[in-house]
Amino acid sequence: MSVLISGSLLFAVAFLLHLALWRMHYPRNPIKTLVLLFGTVAAAGIIFLSLFASYTAVQYVHIFMFFFSLFFCYLITYSAIEADSPSLVIILEVARCGKEGLAVGQLKESLGNDLLIEPRLKELVESGLVDLKGSTYKINGKGRAFFTPFIIYRKFLGLGKGG
C-alpha cells in the first residue's frame, strides 16, 4: 500500500506543479523543464520520506520505479499533447462532418507543409538534434544518438522509413 500511496502522491505533486508552472510561463524547452521538475520532486520526495517514513531500501526503489514509470509515460504522452497528431486531426475532422462525411480531397487543402512539416523541422533545430547552417539542415551527434535505437529496431524488423 505504501508504494502505491507514496508513488501516486509524489507524481500528483509533480504533475500539479507542472500545470501551475505552465500556466505562469510556458518554458522554452518544455521537455528539459519536465525532466528537471520531476527529478527535483523525486529528490525532495526521498528527503521527505526518509525524515517522516520508515521504508526499507527495497520499498524506496519500488516507489521510485513507480514514480518514474508514470513520469516516462507522461513524457511520451506530452509530445502528443504539444504537437497536433495528423491522424487525430483527421479523425476529428471526419467526426466533425458527421453524417455528411468528409470529401476525399478536402483534407489535403487544409493540411500543408506549413502545418505538418515545417514546425517539426523547427523543433528539431530548437531541441538541438539538427544543426541549421545557412539553409542546410544536418543531423548532429545528439540527433544521431537519439535516432540510432529507432533505426536499429526498424532494420532488425525489416520495417520501412515510416512517417
Partner 1 sequence: MDYFNISIPLIAITGNITAQIFSYKYLLGRKLLRSEYFGFLWGVMILAVGEIFAYEGPAAEALALACANLTIYACLAYCYFNFINMGETARRIRLLRELYDSGPGLNKEEILSRYNAEEVVGLRMRRLLNNHQIISRGGRYYVGSPVMLFIAKGIVLMKLAVLGKKSEFDVQHG
Enumerate residues 112-141 that contact partner 1 by CB under 8 A: 112-113, 115-121, 123-124, 129-130, 133, 135-139
* Minimum distance, C-beta of residue 55 to partner 1, in the bound complex (Å): 10
Q: Residue 25 phi/psi, 5° resolution?
A: -160, 115
* Minimum distance, C-beta of residue 91 to partner 1, in the bound complex (Å): 5
Q: Residue 111 phi/psi, 5° resolution?
A: -115, 90
* Minimum distance, C-beta of residue 42 to partner 1, in the bound complex (Å): 15
**Would you say 44 or 97 has its CB closer to partner 1?**
97
Enumerate residues 2-61 that contact partner 1 by CB under 8 A: 3-4, 7, 18-19, 22-23, 26, 56, 58-59, 61
**Would you say 52 or 163 has its CB closer to partner 1?**
163
Distance, CA of 1 to CA of 159 (rounded, Å): 43
Q: Are 68 and 42 in contact (CB under 8 A)?
A: yes
Length of the chain: 163
Residue 75's contacts (CB-CB under 8 Å, 6 or more residues apart) are 31, 34, 35
* C-alpha R_g of the chain: 21
How many amino acids of this chain bind partner 1 (CB under 8 A)?
81
* Minimum distance, C-beta of residue 51 to partner 1, in the bound complex (Å): 21
**Would you say 18 or 38 has its CB closer to partner 1?**
18
* Minimum distance, C-beta of residue 52 to partner 1, in the bound complex (Å): 20
Enumerate residues 76-115 that contact partner 1 by CB under 8 A: 76-78, 80-88, 90-92, 94-95, 97, 100-104, 107-108, 111-113, 115
Distance, CA of 105 to CA of 103 (rounded, Å): 6
Distance, CA of 107 to CA of 89 (rounded, Å): 10
3 state DSSP class of 131:
strand
